[in-house]
C-alpha cells in the first residue's frame, strides 16, 4: 500500500501472528506498515491470507481509507485470494457510517463494489444487503438505488425481510414520499412480513407530517410507542379531541400510557389555554400512579408550572391545590408560578397566604421580582391605611356618642 518503512520478520512468520499485530496496533498508519512489511519482496515466503486481508480491509474502512481498501480488494483478486461476504459486509457498514460532504460519492463506490461482488459470483445474504440498503437510504440521491437492489433481492435468492421493508419505508417517509411508503407497507403485508414497531412508527410519523392523519387512525396500532407518535401528530395539529380518543382506545387495548404521552396531551391543552382540561389529565396521572422517568421529568415540571399559572386567572383555588400537590411530590416551582399565586392572593386580600408564599419562594431559592414585592407591600400598606381609617372613624363615633350623653 505504499509504506516505505520495513519491519524485519522472522522466517517462521504466519498469518495468525500478522493478524494479531495488525489487530493490536491502534495507529492505522503503523498497521499499514505491519501489513506491507510482512510480504516485502516475499523474502520470507509469507503470503497474506483471507484472514489478514479481511482484517486489514476492516481496519482501513473503519478509518475511512476507502481507496486503500479498494486497492487491497484488487490485490486479493490478483493473488486469487477468496473474497467472502464478511468483507462485503464490513465495507457496507463503513460506507453507512460516513457523514461528510462526500457521502454521495462514497455510497456510489459502495454500489460499484456491490456490482463487483455480483460479477465475482459472490452470493450475498439478506443481512449484507440490508446493511447496504440502510446506507443508501440515508442519502436522498441514492434512495432509487436502494429500491433497485430491493427489487433484485428475490432473483438473487435473498427475499426481503421485515428489516428490509422497514428500512425502505423509513427512508421514503423521511423524503416525504408517503404514497410510496404506503404501497410498500401494503406489499409487506402480502409477503407475510410482520411490520415491526419501528416500521409502524415511521409510517405513522410520515402520515402525521403529511397531514394524512385519517389513514394513521384507521390502521391498527400495535403498541404504546406508535400511539405516542400518533398522539403527538394530532396534538401538533390542534386535534386534541382526536388525541384523547386515541388515548381512550389505547387504554381499552390494555396499554398503559406513560408520562411522556400524557405530557403531549397536556401541553396541547396548554397551547390553546384550556388549563382546566390540562389539570384534569394531571390529576388522572396522579390517580393512575403514572410518574415521569428521567427523560420526561423536565417536561413534567414545565407543564405543571404552566398549568398552575394558567389556572390562576379563572380557577385560582384549583391552581393553589395543584401548587400544594407539586410541593408534596417534590416538583420544582418556578418564579413565574409563585408570582401568579402571590398576585392572586394579594388581589383577593388574603395577605397572610401571599406572605407565606413569598416565604416559601425565598426558601426555594426563587428571588421575588419588583412587581411581586410591590404587590405584597402595597397590599399590606393599603390594609394598614384601612385599619387606621377604621380606628379614626371609631374614635369619632365614640366621641359623638359621649357628647350625646
**104 falls in which pLDDT band (50, 70, 90)?**
low
Vertex 386 angle, CA 380 and 391, to 5°: 125
364 occurs within a structural domain: no
Asked if residue 213 lies in contact with residue 237, where contact means CB atoms within 8 angstroms, the answer is: yes
| Better-scored residue on pLDDT, 208 or 344 | 344
Residue located via cell numbers 491502534: 26
Long-range Cβ contact pairs of 111-117 (< 8 A, separation 24 or more): 111/136, 111/142, 111/145, 113/70, 113/73, 113/88, 114/88, 114/149, 116/73, 117/83, 117/85, 117/88
Helix (H, G, I), strand (E, B) or coil at 212: coil
Cell triple for residue 59?
A: 481496519
What confidence score (pLDDT) does residue 223 get? 63
Assign residue 273 a region (left: φ > 0; alpha: ψ between -120 and 50; beta: otherwise).
left
230 occurs within a structural domain: no
**267 falls in which pLDDT band (50, 70, 90)?**
very high
29 occurs within a structural domain: yes
| Phi, psi of 69, deg, nearest 5 | -65, -40
pLDDT digits (tens, 9 = 90+) for 29-74: 888 888 887 776 455 567 888 888 889 888 888 888 878 887 888 8
188 occurs within a structural domain: no
20 occurs within a structural domain: yes
Asked if residue 281 lies in contact with residue 269, where contact means CB atoms within 8 angstroms, the answer is: yes
CA separation for the pair 382, 374 (Å, rounded):
12
Query: How many separate domains does the chain show?
Result: 1
Nearest to 184 by CA among 198, 164, 208, 201: 164
What confidence score (pLDDT) does residue 400 get? 40
What confidence score (pLDDT) does residue 100 get? 46
**Residue 34: domain span:** 1-83
Whether the predicted pLDDT of 3 surpasses 60 = no
pLDDT digits (tens, 9 = 90+) for 298-338: 888 999 999 999 999 889 999 999 999 999 988 999 989 98
165 occurs within a structural domain: no
284 occurs within a structural domain: no
348 occurs within a structural domain: no
pLDDT digits (tens, 9 = 90+) for 219-246: 544 566 667 777 887 788 788 888 888 8
Taking the CA atoms of 149, 153, 158 and 163 in sequence, report the sign of the dihedral they define. positive
pLDDT digits (tens, 9 = 90+) for 139-166: 778 889 899 999 999 988 889 998 999 9
What confidence score (pLDDT) does residue 395 get? 43
Least confident of 56-60, 82-86, 178-182, 359-363: 82-86
Which range of 111-125, 130-144, 278-292 scores highest in mean pLDDT? It is 278-292
What is the reported pTM? 0.49
Nearest to 265 by CA among 287, 286, 289, 241: 241
Cα 366 to its chain centre, rounded Å, is: 32
Between the two ends of the chain, the Cα-to-Cα distance in Å is: 123
Asked if residue 40 lies in contact with residue 6, where contact means CB atoms within 8 angstroms, the answer is: yes
| Better-scored residue on pLDDT, 34 or 395 | 34
Amino acid at each position: 500500500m505504499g509504506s516505505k518503512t520495513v519491519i524485519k520478520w522472522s522466517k517462521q512468520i504466519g498469518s495468525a501472528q500478522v493478524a494479531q499485530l495488525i489487530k493490536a496496533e491502534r495507529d492505522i498508519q503503523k498497521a499499514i506498515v505491519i501489513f506491507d512489511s510482512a510480504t516485502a519482496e516475499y523474502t520470507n515466503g509469507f503470503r497474506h491470507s483471507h484472514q489478514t486481508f479481511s482484517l486489514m480491509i476492516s481496519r482501513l474502512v473503519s478509518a475511512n481509507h476507502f481507496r486503500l481498501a479498494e486497492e487491497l480488494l484488487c490485490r486479493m483478486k490478483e493473488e486469487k485470494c477468496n473474497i467472502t461476504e464478511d468483507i462485503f459486509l464490513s465495507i457496507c457498514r463503513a460506507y453507512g457510517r460516513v457523514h461528510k460532504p462526500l457521502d454521495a460519492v462514497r455510497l456510489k463506490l459502495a454500489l460499484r463494489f456491490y456490482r463487483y461482488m455480483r460479477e465475482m459470483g459472490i452470493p450475498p445474504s439478506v443481512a449484507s444487503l440490508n446493511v447496504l440498503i440502510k446506507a443508501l437510504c440515508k442519502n436522498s440521491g441514492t434512495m432509487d438505488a436502494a429500491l433497485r437492489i430491493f427489487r433484485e433481492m428475490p432473483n438473487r435468492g435473498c427475499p426481503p425481510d421485515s428489516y428490509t421493508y422497514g428500512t425502505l419505508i423509513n427512508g421514503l417517509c423521511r423524503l416525504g414520499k408517503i404514497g410510496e411508503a404506503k404501497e410498500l407497507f401494503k406489499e409487506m403485508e402480502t409477503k407475510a412480513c410482520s411490520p415491526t414497531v419501528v416500521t409502524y412508527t415511521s409510517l405513522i410519523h410520515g402520515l402525521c407530517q403529511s397531514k394524512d392523519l385519517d389513514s394513521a387512525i384507521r390502521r391498527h396500532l400495535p403498541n404504546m410507542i406508535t400511539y405516542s407518535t400518533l398522539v403527538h401528530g394530532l396534538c401538533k395539529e390542534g386535534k386534541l379531541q382526536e388525541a384523547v380518543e386515541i388515548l381512550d382506545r389505547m387504554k381499552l387495548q390494555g396499554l398503559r400510557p406513560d408520562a411522556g404521552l400524557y405530557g403531549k396531551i397536556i401541553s396541547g391543552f396548554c397551547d390553546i389555554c384550556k388549563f382546566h382540561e390540562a389539570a384534569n389529565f394531571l390529576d388522572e396521572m396522579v390517580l393512575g400512579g403514572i410518574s415521569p422517568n428521567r427523560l420526561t421529568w423536565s417536561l413534567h415540571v414545565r407543564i405543571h408550572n404552566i398549568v398552575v399559572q394558567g389556572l390562576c386567572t379563572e380557577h385560582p383555588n384549583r391552581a393553589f391545590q395543584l401548587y400544594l400537590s407539586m410541593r408534596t411530590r417534590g416538583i420544582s416551582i418556578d418564579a413565574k408560578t409563585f408570582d401568579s399565586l402571590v398576585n392572586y392572593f394579594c388581589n383577593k386580600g388574603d395577605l397572610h397566604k401571599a406572605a407565606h408564599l413569598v416565604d416559601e419562594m425565598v426558601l426555594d431559592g426563587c428571588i421575588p421580582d419588583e412587581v411581586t414585592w410591590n404587590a405584597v407591600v402595597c397590599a399590606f400598606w393599603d390594609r394598614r391605611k384601612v385599619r387606621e381609617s377604621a380606628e379614626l372613624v371609631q374614635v369619632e363615633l365614640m366621641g359623638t356618642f359621649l357628647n350625646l350623653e
